[in-house]
């Protein structure tokens, strides 16, 4: 069993309050769950207005598939989410 973890740091430059940021993040989390069938949660920078830290996890029996899925998630965020910017990300595989 392979557990793949992706940590994302995201900037929401248009957010003027926590409510604005959470609206953007909630929309993104819902779409990611529906489109990629992954577990997603905001795990860092909870009190920051314009920065969010997301944790994304998937489980598979194939390491290449799990890594590829999380890479697709990162690419999807970069290409389709124009209301936020991807600052940094890391992908880790655990056996």
Domain ranges (residues) in the chain:
2-94
Q: What local confidence, expressed as pLDDT, does residue 40 receive? A: 97
The CA angle 94-84-31, to the nearest 5 degrees, is 60
pTM of the predicted protein model = 0.90
Helix, strand, coil % over all residues of the chain, rounded to 5: 40, 40, 25
Burial 48-72 (b: 16+ CB within 10 A, else e): eebbbbbebebebeeeeebbebbee
Domain 2-94, second-level architecture: 2-Layer Sandwich (3.30)
Mean pLDDT score across all residues of the chain = 95
Phi, psi of 52 (to 5 degrees): -135, 145
Q: What local confidence, expressed as pLDDT, does residue 91 receive? A: 97
pLDDT classification of 78: cutoffs 50, 70, 90: very high
């Amino acid at each position: 069993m392979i557990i793949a973890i992706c940590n994302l740091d995201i900037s929401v430059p248009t957010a003027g309050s926590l409510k604005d940021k959470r609206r953007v993040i909630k929309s993104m989390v819902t779409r990611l769950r529906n489109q990629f069938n992954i577990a997603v949660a905001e795990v860092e920078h909870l009190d920051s207005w314009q920065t969010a830290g997301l944790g994304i996890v998937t489980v598979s029996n194939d390491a290449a598939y799990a890594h590829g899925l999380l890479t697709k998630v990162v690419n999807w965020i970069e290409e389709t989410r124009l209301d936020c910017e991807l600052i940094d990300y890391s992908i880790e595989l655990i056996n």
